[in-house]
Amino acid sequence: MSEPTYILGIESSCDETACSIVANGTDVLSNSIASQIDLHKRFGGVVPELASRAHIEAINNIIAEAIEQAGVAPEKISAVAIANEPGLIGSLLIGLMAAKTIAWIWDVPLVAVNHVYAHAYAASLDEGPIEYPAAALICSGGHTALYRCDSPMDMTLLGGTIDDAAGEAFDKVAKILELSYPGGPVIDRISREGDPKLIDFPRSLLAGDSLDFSFSGLKTAVLYHVNGVPGPRPTRVGKKPGPTARRAAMQENAGRGIENFTQQEIADVAAGFQAAVVDTLKIKLRRAAGKIDVKTLVIGGGVAANSALRAAVTELGDKLGCAVRMPKMAYCVDNAAMTAGLAYHYLQAGQVADLTLAARPTVRI
Ligand code: KG4
Ligand code: ZN
């Protein structure tokens, strides 16, 4: 039997420093991740400058750990894969420099991978190939998009968010509800205690058969539910309203403020919000599937860890009579196994990069 093709992947596009070794595109031999959640927690979101610095501190150890855990001798590794787009520029550059350095020292090809395409590939890890054509819904802290996929490398964008990403909405709503960061896991957990039908939050479906998403109105609806709808600004000719007058106007229409909500009421808000997000994602995925002769529904990204979304997509697959592929929990959030796995297909196709490869923070994907 021939020797497997081992690829070392590196991922540093946002706030996870990760390295992984994957054999033949699907067998994950190691998956090392240094998470920066504790660092960014008190800011309620990722602070780019802090993220870059933390990547520098973590990357050497993470690479060493992944190589050691995989137990594969470096001379057996066929290529180094890097997620060079999209992401935070400072973060991307740290991983890219590390990947170029290793590829140069080991004298192996460098393979460039799109981070969002890698999320769509994550469901293959440990499991095997996805049957195409597929409709893929990728939703994370930075992205929410729908694709038609004809192979791991052949992705056509069908729609995306016009404002907040789904994960970003989870994080911001958790902040409004004074829950911990990141918001997704905690909203998922407490929603189980809440009634998803009690508060009818808006589902922004946009016009006609649009496959785009919008979550900022939903986030504002939660904010108003908690803090009240701001009243009209008091106007007095020739005088700008002072802070007291503005506060009085706010209070006229004020909600009760999160400090006056019971645990049960917070759970009801969380469940209502989550139901609105999941309904919207499901409806759009169904629309996308309707435009393609799909064999498989695929989800990926941090929000693909959401239990209500997983249940809804499973149900949709049953209804449409097609397969459903969801990544294992460890491969939903950012990781380098999906980078190394997808890179196998580019390497097979002879699509490799060279040491002039650039980081691209924003790309139309
Ligand atoms: O894919 P990821 O690690 O990073 C990006 O590429 O953005 O996704 C992180 C996002 C965060 O917004 C987090 O709140 C969300 O995924 N998330 C979840 C869950 N677990 C993580 N959202 C909903 N439910 C979850 N269980
Ligand atoms: Zn991601």
The pLDDT of residue 124 is: 98
pLDDT at 253 over 90: no
Q: Write out the E strands in the chain.
A: 6-11, 16-23, 27-35, 77-85, 110-114, 134-139, 144-149, 155-160, 296-300, 323-325
Q: What is the mean pLDDT of residues 149-172?
A: 96
Give the distance (Å) from ligand 2 centre to CA of residue 318: 27
Give the distance (Å) from ligand 2 centre to CA of residue 202: 26
Percent of the chain with pLDDT over 90: 81
Mean pLDDT over all residues of the chain?
Answer: 92
Q: Which residue has the tokens 């990403």?
A: 165
Domains of the chain, CATH where assigned: 6-126+330-348 (3.30.420.40), 134-327 (3.30.420.40)
Nearest-CA residue for atom 8 of ligand 1? 302
Give the distance (Å) from ligand 2 centre to CA of residue 361: 13
Is any atom of ligand 1 closer than 6 Å to the C-beta of 306?
yes
pLDDT at 250 over 50: no
The pLDDT of residue 252 is: 46
Give the distance (Å) from ligand 2 centre to CA of residue 13: 8
Is any atom of ligand 1 closer than 6 Å to the C-beta of 18?
no
Ligand nearest to C-alpha 37: 1
Q: Is the pTM of this model over 0.85?
A: yes
pLDDT at 246 over 60: no
Mutate to test the pocket of ligand 1, among 140, 187, 278 (most ligand atoms within 8 A of CB): 140
Give the distance (Å) from ligand 2 centre to CA of residue 300: 9
Model confidence band, residue 244 (pLDDT cutoffs 50, 70, 90): low
The pLDDT of residue 239 is: 59
Tens of pLDDT, residue by residue over 25-73, are 999 999 999 888 888 888 878 899 899 999 999 999 999 999 999 999 9
Confirm if 249 and 233 have CB atoms less than 8 A apart. yes
Confirm if 18 and 62 have CB atoms less than 8 A apart. yes
Is any atom of ligand 1 closer than 6 Å to the C-beta of 185?
yes
> How far is residue 8's CA from residue 260's CA, in Å, rounded to a whole number?
51
Q: What 3-state DSSP class applies to 23?
A: strand
Q: What 3-state DSSP class applies to 117?
A: helix
Nearest-CA residue for atom 3 of ligand 1? 333
- Nearest 5°: the CA angle 88, 163, 334 is 40
